[in-house]
Amino acid sequence: MTGTESQRILKIRSLLVRDLGEIFNLMGHKFYAGVMFTVTTVRITPDLSIAKVYLSMFPTNDKEAVLARITENASTIRYELGKRIGKQMRIVPELKFFIDDSLDYIEKIDDLLNK
């Protein structure tokens, strides 16, 4: 990857994090009521066709069920994203959602250190 390509990928990643964050802020209650979503990171393939979106969810005990509902609504989320980034990107990437459990992991380590 050349310097300009990596700069482009970084700009696209930050654009996707921002716009997906806004979409979840506005529409998150439709996907799963009572849960707050944060887009923690987006990893995009070099050809810009697939974006792996990592989400943090709070409060919920069944993150897998919430993720399943979001995955069911991936086409709606992609459509909303396309309306926002259509002028900046030729292709709206396919969205794949994952749970970002890094905060849970940090909390678990903190608890172990405090014992």
**88 compared with 108, residue with greater pLDDT:** 88
> Which pLDDT tens digit goes with each residue over 49-94?
999 999 988 887 788 888 888 999 899 999 999 998 877 788 899 9
The pLDDT value recorded for residue 52 is 95
Q: Which structural domains are found in the chain, ordered by start? A: 3-114 (3.30.300.20)
Q: Residue 79: phi, psi to the nearest 5?
A: -60, -45
The pLDDT value recorded for residue 59 is 81
Spatial contact of 71 and 97, defined as CB atoms under 8 Å apart: yes
SS3 7: helix
> Which pLDDT tens digit goes with each residue over 26-57?
888 887 778 888 899 999 998 889 999 999 88
The pLDDT value recorded for residue 5 is 57
Spatial contact of 100 and 54, defined as CB atoms under 8 Å apart: yes
The pLDDT value recorded for residue 4 is 54
